[in-house]
Structure 1
Amino acid sequence: MSIFQKVKNWLADHCETQENHQDEQLRSRYYKTTAVNALKTVKEIVEKSPHFELLSISEERGELSVSVSKGKKAFMVITVISVRPFETAIDFSVTTETKFLPFDFGFSRNVILDMYKKLDQHLTYIGSGINADM
């Protein structure tokens, strides 16, 4: 990733993961589990954190809406997608509420990386962006 891209990411108020993201740390992550178990694990992580508030959960769509109050206020959508039996992708979209400046100095990116770190402790990590070429 170029220095220009790093500065651009730092000067944004929104960050999300995707299959073929330029930043390897923000590529969709895959875990060896079912979608039901992954959704349950994500929900438990969110509910245990004093900085998160679960706003809604749609089990049939595999989405959770979360309010973040850690340092800055933000809104996070977590998407859990079953790709194959025992292969599940988890993606994040985080938008920070900014008052005066239109950027969050990498806060939204750090929320995502922190969540992936917590997930890696609970689920078996397979890889990132592994279906980008399909």
Structure 2
Amino acid sequence: MSLLKKVQAFFSAHSETAETHQDPELRSRYYKATAKKAMEAVQAAAAVRGGCKVTSVSEERGEISVQIQKPKSALLVATVISVRPFETAIDFSVSSDTALPTDFGYSRKVILEFQQKLDSELKFVGSGLNSGK
């Protein structure tokens, strides 16, 4: 990732993962689990973190909304997509609630924190696996 992109990402109040993200740490992550098990793991990660409240769960759409209240206010939306039986992709989108035009990397830090918790609960397969297809 170029220096300019790193600076732009740092001075943003929003971060999200994507299949072909320029930052390798923010690529879609794949786990060996069912969609239901992955959704339960995301909800458990929010409960363990503290300062989080799950506001909405849509199993049909595979989305979970989490309101983060501590240490800073933010909204996290996790999208769980079943790619194959027992292979599930999880993407995150975090928007910080700040009066400034930047959150100084807080939204990125939240995503990495949730990914780390999921890695310890689910069997990690890889990241950005379908980017070349």
TM normalised by structure 1 equals: 0.96
- Amino acid paired to 2:103: D
| Pairwise CA distance, 1:72 | 1.2
State percent identity of aligned pairs.
53
**Separation (CA, whole Å) in 2 of partners of 1:108 and 1:26:** 11
Q: Deviations over 1:53-100 (max 9, x none)?
A: 10010011110011012221000100000000111000000000111x
Q: Deviations over 1:87-121 (max 9, x none)?
A: 1000000000111x200000000000000000000
Q: Where does residue 119 of structure 1 map in the other structure?
A: 118
| Pairwise CA distance, 1:42 | 1.0
| Pairwise CA distance, 1:4 | 0.8
Q: Which runs of 5+ in 1 are unaligned?
A: none
**Separation (CA, whole Å) in 2 of partners of 1:70 and 1:15:** 18
Q: Where does residue 72 of structure 2 map in the other structure?
A: 72
Q: Where does residue 128 of structure 2 map in the other structure?
A: 129
- Amino acid paired to 1:107: Y
- Amino acid paired to 1:124: K
**Separation (CA, whole Å) in 2 of partners of 1:110 and 1:49:** 13
Q: Where does residue 47 of structure 2 map in the other structure?
A: 47
Range that drifts further, 41-50 or 71-80: 41-50
Q: Where does residue 102 of structure 2 map in the other structure?
A: 103
3-state SS, counterpart of residue 76 of structure 2: strand
TM normalised by structure 2 equals: 0.97
**Separation (CA, whole Å) in 1 of partners of 2:5 and 2:128:** 19
Q: Deviations over 1:24-43 (max 9, x none)?
A: 00000000011111111111
Q: Give 4+ residue runs of structure 1 displaced > 4 Å after superposition.
A: none
Q: Where does residue 37 of structure 1 map in the other structure?
A: 37
**Separation (CA, whole Å) in 2 of partners of 1:98 and 1:80:** 27
- Amino acid paired to 2:69: S
**Separation (CA, whole Å) in 2 of partners of 1:15 and 1:70:** 18
List aligned pairs for 1:19-30, cutoff 5 A: 19-30=19-30
| Pairwise CA distance, 1:47 | 2.2
Q: Which runs of 5+ in 2 are unaligned?
A: none
